[in-house]
Structures are given as structure tokens and as C-alpha cells.
Amino acid sequence: MKFTYCSSTVAAIAFWATSNGYVIGYSAGHISGVSGLSGLQGNNSLQTRTSGNNSNRRTLKARQSQPAGSLVNYTCQSSFIDFTDREALGKFNVEWCPQNTYQTQNSVVWRLTPECGTTIVFPWDFQYGKIEGRIRAAHGSGVVSTVLLAGPEPADELDWEWVGRDTLTAQSMYFVKGQRVDPVPQYLNTPGGIPQDMAAGFHNYAIELNKDSVKWYIDDWLVRTLPRVDGVPFPVGASRPRMGVWDGTQTSGWAGTVDWSQGPFTAEMQWFKFTPYC
């Protein structure tokens, strides 16, 4: 039997951009979250963001090369990638800082150092489907681990994010055309009793995009459902998987500040599954 657990907190939010352009919001006196796509793109110094008159929109100004996620490349072929296979990483594009993405005997590791975080991209899209991975999040103040689905800019986006100073919770968020729709992220624990430290061991995480809903899963338990409602923006264009770690120091307190003396900081994934619904 499965159950759904989610926060019911809803509050008025004021949005604005920090001096570095990360999109943030406050709710009930605390920062509510940052776009994972913004953070992963922030791994790449080519990303520029502006606030303008619409401060909660992320705007892509310039890139020196065409990123893997900028063109839609639909497929109906499912993929299961096991990182005990030494060729597994070759099925992804390492978009930034390749020295900080590497394989061990049974996982791919994403490392955050003072020089850079890292981003890998699965080079296929689906219209509807499910992504799954067995992941250990990174621990440490300021360190953010992210797995998401995103479309072309301005992006529809579905996030799993783990903020390293609180690894008893995972945060789920979504954006439509670069705009924050969620008033607050939902803070979700491992199901089945006492919350487990998500940086201490591996857990299965999934995002499922359907025509009429989005669903987030932890260890095969449904932990959040976002129904599609007429007249309400819905992230139907979130299509391509991206994942990695990034430095959240410049997010005005949401992620905390990295203490580099405690690093390097790593997250890991043992396997990844991509299932289009065609």
C-alpha cells in the first residue's frame, strides 16, 4: 500500500533575484527554494541572469556552445543505465566540469570543489514519462544536489533537490516557462517511519510526468502529486533529465554557505532509468 505525504503550508510569497540572479522566495520568514536548473546552469559561467521588471523569471542571455538540453530530441525508447557498467557514463553528456564527474565500481560521482560543481545531461526527451535513480545526496552547508526534468528555455521544470545542511528532507518544486508556480517547495522525508539521512545512504527517487499530473516518489512510495487544473500553469514541457551538484552559497541563506575545509563534497547515483510513455 502506498501513501502520499506532503506539506500543506501555503503562504504569501515575495519573489526577487539575488545579486547573482538566483531566483528565491520567502515564506513564513524562511527562504523557500531555488530552481535546480538555475543552479546547474550556474555551474557554467556562461549563464547570465537578469531580474528586469519580472524578477522571478530566469533569462538565458548567452552561451558559447549549444547545450545538450536546448533542442528537443524525443524518443520512445526506454533506457536503464547501471553504473557498474564502465561505459555507462558515456550515455550522458557532461555539460560542465568533467573532472568532477567520474565513475567508481558501482556509481557515478558528482563532486563539488571550490573550482566548480558539475552537471550531466541525458541526451533524450520524452513528452510524458518517468525518470528514476538510486541516489545518495551530498552533505554539507551550501551544497545542493539536484535531479530534474527541464525543457528548452524559458524552461518548464520539475525538481528534486537536496540541500546539504538538511539531508533529512528532499525538496520538490516546479516552474512553468521559467516562472515559479509553487508557492513553497514541499519538504519530503523518506517514508515508513523515522526520516533517514539521505546523504548517509542510497534511496530511489523518481519524477513522473503524466498528461494530467506530476508525481514524485521516494523508495517507490508516492510522496507528492500535482494535479493538472484548468487555468493553472502546468509544466507540460519538462522533458530532459539533468543532474549534478552546485554551490548554493549565493542563494541568500536558502542553502547556507559552503565551508571548503570540510570538502570535497560528493553525491552519487548507482543507476538511472528513463521511461517514455508512448
pLDDT digits (tens, 9 = 90+) for 83-98: 999 999 999 999 989 9
The end-to-end CA distance of the chain, in Å, is 27
Return the top range by mean pLDDT from 4-8, 22-26, 68-72, 89-93: 89-93
Q: Is the pLDDT of residue 105 over 70?
A: yes
Position 254 scores a pLDDT of 86
In the predicted model, what is the mean pLDDT of the chain?
Answer: 80
Position 60 scores a pLDDT of 24
Return the top range by mean pLDDT from 3-7, 216-220, 246-250: 216-220
Q: Is the pLDDT of residue 6 over 70?
A: no
157 is catalytic: yes
153 is catalytic: no
Q: Are the C-beta atoms of 149 and 37 separated by less than 8 Å?
A: no
Position 84 scores a pLDDT of 98
Q: Is the pLDDT of residue 10 over 50?
A: no
> Residues, the chain, total?
278
Q: Is the pLDDT of residue 224 over 90?
A: yes
Q: Is the pLDDT of residue 68 over 60?
A: no
Position 24 scores a pLDDT of 31
Position 16 scores a pLDDT of 25
Q: Which is catalytic among the residues 95, 132, 161, 268?
A: 161
* Host H or E run for residue 42: helix 36-42
Q: Quick one: pLDDT band at residue 181, thresholds 50, 70, 90?
A: confident
Q: How many CB atoms lie within 10 A of CB 187?
A: 17
Position 41 scores a pLDDT of 59
Q: Which is catalytic among the residues 87, 95, 115, 157?
A: 157
Question: C-alpha angle with apex 189: 120 to 205, nearest 5 degrees?
Answer: 35
Q: Is the pLDDT of residue 193 over 50?
A: yes
Q: Are the C-beta atoms of 117 and 246 separated by less than 8 Å?
A: yes
What is the percent of the chain with per-residue pLDDT over 90, rounded to a whole number? 67
* Per-position DSSP letters for 183-236, written without gaps between them: SSPEEE--SSSSPP-TTTS-EEEEEEE-SSEEEEEETTEEEEEEE--TTS---T
What structural domains and CATH numbers belong to the chain?
66-276 (2.60.120.200)
Query: What are 113-167's pLDDT values in tens digits?
Result: 999 999 999 999 999 999 999 999 999 999 999 999 999 999 999 999 999 999 9
**Distance from C-alpha of 148 to C-alpha of 252, rounded to nearest angstrom:** 22
Ranges 7-21, 119-133, 231-245: which has the least confidence: 7-21
Position 187 scores a pLDDT of 92
Q: Quick one: pLDDT band at residue 184, thresholds 50, 70, 90?
A: confident
